[in-house]
């Protein structure tokens, strides 16, 4: 990658059917606290729970989103969450109501990853360097 290349990612949305169930899954697995995003007028029944982010820092964030036209499921975009050791978060998946699809495996010089399914049927990845 070129030294001046800019990361093009800015936001991730994970679609859900049951917001409280999905929020509990991600907060339990990642040991984080999510916060509700107020919806602008005219957005209908849309709900969003935001993942943590550092305002003004060089990072991306995203949210769980519940809306009528967008449904969760496997086979679409795969979002990877950064971890110190993906086996730790992977170990919390089943207790949080999810399922491990691919246990921690080496990806050579790029570290390790796991693929899990959340409570909504979305496949998500976990990535770490150890």
Pick 21 or 44 by higher pLDDT.
Answer: 21
Q: Mind listing the domains of the chain with CATH numbers?
A: 11-128 (3.10.180.10)
Rounded to 5 degrees, φ, ψ at 104 are -45, 130
Question: How far is CA 39 from each of CA 36, 44, 102, rounded to the nearest angstrom?
Answer: 9, 9, 35
114 pLDDT band (50/70/90 cuts)? very high
Question: How far is CA 98 from each of CA 90, 116, 121, rounded to the nearest angstrom?
Answer: 10, 7, 8
User: 73-83: per-residue pLDDT in tens?
Assistant: 887 788 999 99
Record the pTM.
Answer: 0.83
User: 30-49: per-residue pLDDT in tens?
Assistant: 999 999 998 777 777 889 99
For residue 58, give both structure tokens: 């060089």
Q: What is the DSSP letter of 56?
A: T
Considering only CA atoms, which of 57, 66, 68, 53 is closest in space to residue 13? 66
- Max avg pLDDT among 1-15, 20-34, 46-60: 20-34
Question: How far is CA 6 from each of CA 3, 26, 51, 52, 62, rounded to the nearest angstrom?
Answer: 9, 28, 22, 22, 18
User: 87-98: per-residue pLDDT in tens?
Assistant: 999 999 999 999
104 pLDDT band (50/70/90 cuts)? very high
């Amino acid at each position: 990658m070129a030294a001046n290349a800019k990361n093009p990612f800015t936001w991730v949305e994970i679609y859900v059917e049951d917001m409280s169930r999905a929020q509990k899954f991600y907060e339990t697995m990642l040991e984080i606290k999510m916060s509700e995003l107020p919806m602008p007028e005219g957005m209908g029944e849309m709900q969003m729970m935001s993942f943590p982010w550092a305002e003004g820092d060089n990072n991306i964030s995203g949210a769980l989103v519940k809306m009528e036209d967008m449904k969760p499921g496997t086979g679409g975009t795969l979002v990877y969450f950064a971890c110190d050791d993906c086996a730790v978060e992977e170990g919390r998946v089943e207790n949080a109501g999810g399922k491990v699809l691919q246990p921690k495996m080496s990806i050579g010089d790029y570290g390790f990853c796991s693929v899990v399914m959340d409570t909504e049927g979305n496949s998500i990845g976990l990535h770490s360097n150890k």
